[in-house]
Chains A and B, each alone.
Chain A
């Protein structure tokens, strides 16, 4: 018997689909219990795991910061030794940048993409699970070193020669290399998944100019990561060669170039900044309009601004290296390129402002976070613009001014958007509202605490306080401002705590929310809350950018079909593949069952990398063999996936 080669997908009514829902549920549901949990490939489970794991890392990174702020609250404090302080500030940076800021956005995107696009899963569900497990492995690798008292201790950008074996002989830097290689792998395969999902899995009719801005943000970040992540992975591999095999890539005594590290790191590092803010900007671009009761102003301009920010972002890395003695021509070029990024950023800001101005805002907690985000975005953008000017940067680099700037960017543009996004989509994920009263408290405490704690850092920096110092003398005159910073940041932490309490309480006691509690216009609001395992019983057919707002907006004759009629695909796990630009039906895609291989491969690759880095050859051999085995089993052509004819 041969497998089915061609089929006409059945276009059915909602009543017919309702009759098939129990069967669809059986096909798509992951069995309960630990085995199901470890082998699930459902994008919703993976997305939630990403979110929860990233929030746990946010708490850990926050605790590290709290200890550092205690140390710095007054001059000449000796709560921490210099060595402990070095490990803490490094782990704080690494945790927030790599284990919180990006993974939390991967969580939103993994959960939301198929729902926003009208699909039943991501293009590569098993790869999605692998992406999560390797992220977790990278995080664990870093924290194991922390528990062993040998955490990375050279700052998150890990400059040589401090990171070379001669100056940092312990396992600290090798642990960082291991974590970064695993995280790089996770990010890369995650990015591949988003790109192919965008190209193939949009609902029929959802042409490229109808996708939500979050999709543009994550797509742009994913494309950027595809080209940026290899730079940092390579930098860490070359550093490992220098440290473990005596090579001379970064070692000037053998003809190597210490500055090569900075180039490779920042060729990655700057695009990465956009990778951790563009999807967050997408969250705001999609969430804010719902509370303004109108579509986003300037959709096309914002989409283009998103993409052009990333393109420009590949040409600005040297602005992290203005003080390294590069030629003036090079400094001028990178300075002006950095300033040009103001243009797409301003396009987005004015689009958000115009959306609020011309809309009818509802002042929900989510709205407050999104609006607060816009203000912090402007402050962080202006201080970034200041440091893009070479003469100003020479004064400001390596001071607390830069610490202020990067926290306005990462907390302002990432954390505020993420918390707003949680308030916005929590009802979709759990079927319950978060508490609005506690929510508003959490906003105001976070907002006031953040500005009280982080704005004075600009002043400390202008007063000459360097970053990364473990203490300072009383006669430096920085005592007062540091006390304010510490108190403000603790207030901010209280606000975050209120938010976390709200999540836990609302998860169990929140008011029930229906399918579309905010009256949103995009596809995720057309399914029940929480969505069924198969997302859409009927694959919707899309005619407009806001399929659920067509009556109110009355833009034309054509109407989307979200619940009336659509494609029912129920011969096993199936979803519809469409063409890349116009999203016309192209293929019936067979989707994989749950599998243990992603977890096994992530474990094996972790073993392989650990063995290689620490020269444990036995572990390396086993890791390699099991990786090969898992990959071959994973990719084995299967009948149920229609990969073999016979």
Chain B
């Protein structure tokens, strides 16, 4: 390679959107987290396929709260995408609004989940189904909680005026995780609430 080919090119400096190493790092985090949920759901289907007990314990789970919960998470993702789009044009206020609404929706989702938890007719240690139900939804809720922590940190940095149209890779990185948490919920939702109805 001729060295002169390489010279004379003006390069961006430091963290900017996809130029940030963290953007690539978050994609790999999502890959390994997706694998974690794949193994969790594998465990569910493996036990379900081999069980001789009635499945699911207590009959098909009700959809009356699960569907609104799902829609709330999806809405949170969409609002967050809207906020991120704002900062790309330098609109800090729109980013902050997107973050605040997303955080509130996520807290609402967690509230609904807890409400479902405490109104189940069985406890964690009742049988294999109850173990799978609480641990898998618990894993997902923990991921939502981590996502909320990320969004709160990003909101703090937004309030401090750290982001603008050029530099906001922390926002983009947190948003990747946020969308992942929503998408993986769809797989969990399908597994627990829809798949028993299909068999």
Contacts and interface: CB of A to CB of B under 8 A. Distances in A.
Interface of A: 3-9, 11, 123-124, 127, 188, 191-192, 195-196, 199-200, 204-205, 226-231, 233-234, 238, 241-242, 245-249, 251, 254-257, 260, 263-264, 267, 541-543, 558, 560-561, 564-567, 577, 585-590, 628, 632, 635-637, 641-646
Contact of A192 (B10, B29, B50): B29
Contact of B13 (A233, A588, A644): A588
Contact of A260 (B31, B43, B166, B167): B43
B199 interface: no
A254 B127 contact: yes
14 contacts: A5-B166, A7-B11, A8-B11, A11-B7, A124-B25, A196-B28, A226-B28, A247-B130, A255-B51, A255-B53, A255-B129, A256-B128, A565-B3, A586-B19
Nearest to B157: A637
B1 to A, nearest CB: 4
Given A195-B28, A541-B3, 13 more contacts: A5-B13, A6-B10, A226-B31, A228-B35, A234-B43, A246-B124, A247-B135, A249-B132, A264-B43, A542-B1, A585-B9, A643-B15, A643-B169
Contacts of A255: 47, 51-53, 127-129
Given A6-B10, A560-B1, A561-B3, A642 B43 contact: no
A256 B47 contact: yes
A483 B149 CA distance: 60
Interface of B: 1-3, 6-16, 19, 21, 24-25, 28-29, 31-33, 35-36, 39-40, 42-43, 46-47, 50-53, 124-132, 135, 149, 153, 157, 161-164, 166-167, 169-170
Given A254-B128, A643-B167, A231 B39 contact: yes
A644 B166 CA distance: 9
Contacts of A233: 36
Contacts of B9: 8-9, 585
Contacts of B46: 257, 260, 263
Given A226-B35, A646-B161, A585 B6 contact: yes
B105 to A, nearest CB: 22
Nearest to A237: B135
A643 B130 CA distance: 45
Contacts of A541: 1, 3, 6
A644 B162 contact: yes
Contact of A558 (B2, B11, B53, B132): B2
Which secondary structure characterizes the binding site on chain B? helix
B102 to A, nearest CB: 19
Contact of A590 (B10, B14, B24, B28): B14
Contact of A588 (B11, B24, B128, B169): B11
A637 B170 contact: yes
A249 B149 CA distance: 30
A588 B50 CA distance: 55
Given A227-B35, A641-B15, A643-B169, A558 B50 contact: no
A244 B22 CA distance: 37
Nearest to B12: A587
Contacts of B15: 590, 641-643
B14 A643 contact: yes
B157 A645 contact: no
Contacts of B47: 249, 255-257, 260
A608 to B, nearest CB: 12
Contacts of A3: 13-14
Contacts of A251: 128
B12 A6 contact: yes
B13 A4 contact: yes
A257 B50 contact: yes
B43 A205 contact: no
B50 to A, nearest CB: 6
Contacts of A585: 6, 9, 11
A245 B135 CA distance: 11
Contacts of A238: 43, 135
A645 B10 contact: no
Contact of B128 (A195, A230, A248, A645): A248
A245 to B, nearest CB: 6
Contact of A9 (B1, B11, B28): B11
